[in-house]
Amino acid sequence: MTAIPQGRTRRAALVSALCALVVTGTGLTGCSGEDPDAGTNGVGKLPAAKIQARTRAAADSADTVHLSGNVVTNGRTYTLDMRLKSDGGFGSVTSQGVTFGLLRIGAQLYLKANAEFWNHADGSGKDTATADKLDGKYVKVPQGDPSYKRFSGFTDKDVLLDGLLTLHGTLATDGHHEQSGVRTIRITGDKGAGGTLDVSLEGTPYPLRLVRAGDAGTLSFSDWGKGFALAEPEKSETVDYGKQLPTS
């Protein structure tokens, strides 16, 4: 048997280690020639338009989702951390350094914020008595109040997903990636200028990460289909102003 030179053995070991690093770190292949879609749900082999249709159908059919990240709209950045289901949701929204909580059960929307939020809600910063009364309370938002339309969308799974899960321009695939330990296939609109969306290659092809077009925010999606309870706040923690909030 012909002996293999030691230098060649070391080079082979180094190449093997580098290949392992590339595959583990980026999800790309090329060293071993292995099929990156082996053992996956198979959507990675589909055209981008079909991947988008599959992931949108998966999102629509899921009962629940945890959505977090930033959305830029009308020049304002909103940081969202929301758990959503078909009949409501709850979580927090931060904008311009102010954080407030939202809870919707059916048609009833509650807004929970501190005194500073309420003290400046009308732009005057003068009604400290009302602000103190509302501090930390679940305030019922009447459906006829302008705030209802403004905030209820943040708690509506269908509304949010309809507005967010859209890529603009010509669709294409952009390789295999990984999000939070889950293998993904990435699809893009106009080579990324129209946004990018990472779709799970494991199990149901749920959307996992969205980068919106025009630097309009980045969102992560998780806990698809994982149930959670929605409960009415205690009466002692609730304030009802009737048909209109004291500030809008």
43-50 LR contacts (CB < 8 Å, sep 24+): 43/185, 43/199, 43/201, 43/205, 44/173, 44/176, 44/185, 44/201, 47/171, 47/173, 48/171, 48/172, 48/173, 48/187, 48/188, 49/171
∠ CA 219-221-223 to the nearest 5 degrees?
A: 155
Residue 1 has pLDDT above 90, yes or no: no
Residue 179 has pLDDT above 80, yes or no: yes
Q: Decide: helix, strand or coil at residue 51.
A: helix
Among candidates 54, 96, 19, which has minimal Cα distance to 205? 54
Helices (H) and strands (E) counted in the chain, each on its own, are 6, 12
> What pLDDT digit, counting tens, does each position of 196-227 carry?
999 999 999 999 999 999 999 999 999 999 99
- This prediction's pTM: 0.81
- The stretch 13-17 carries a mean pLDDT of 50
Q: How confident is the model at residue 40 (pLDDT cuts 50, 70, 90)?
A: very high
Q: Residue 163: what pLDDT? A: 87
Q: Residue 24: what pLDDT? A: 41
Q: How confident is the model at residue 25 (pLDDT cuts 50, 70, 90)?
A: very low
Q: Decide: helix, strand or coil at residue 213.
A: helix
Tell me the C-alpha to C-alpha distance, in Å, between residue 88 and each of 33, 41, 68, 91, 238: 47, 30, 16, 11, 18
- The stretch 147-160 carries a mean pLDDT of 92
Residue 193 has pLDDT above 80, yes or no: yes
- The stretch 103-129 carries a mean pLDDT of 81
What the block records as the tokens of 195 is 């946004």
Q: Residue 81: what pLDDT? A: 98
- The stretch 68-84 carries a mean pLDDT of 94
Q: Residue 39: what pLDDT? A: 92
Q: How confident is the model at residue 118 (pLDDT cuts 50, 70, 90)?
A: confident
* 65 Cβ contact partners less than 8 Å away, ≥ 6 residues apart: 59, 83, 84, 157, 161, 221, 222, 223, 224
Domain boundaries, the chain: 43-61+167-222, 65-161+228-240
Q: Residue 36: what pLDDT? A: 87
**Residue count of the chain:** 248
What the block records as the tokens of 237 is 């923690």
Percent of the chain surpassing pLDDT 90: 67
Residue 185 has pLDDT above 90, yes or no: yes
- The stretch 61-76 carries a mean pLDDT of 94
- Of the listed ranges 16-25, 110-119, 177-186, the least confidently predicted one is 16-25
- The stretch 38-48 carries a mean pLDDT of 96
Q: Residue 33: what pLDDT? A: 65
Helix (H) or strand (E) holding 164: helix 157-164
Mean pLDDT over all residues of the chain? Answer: 86
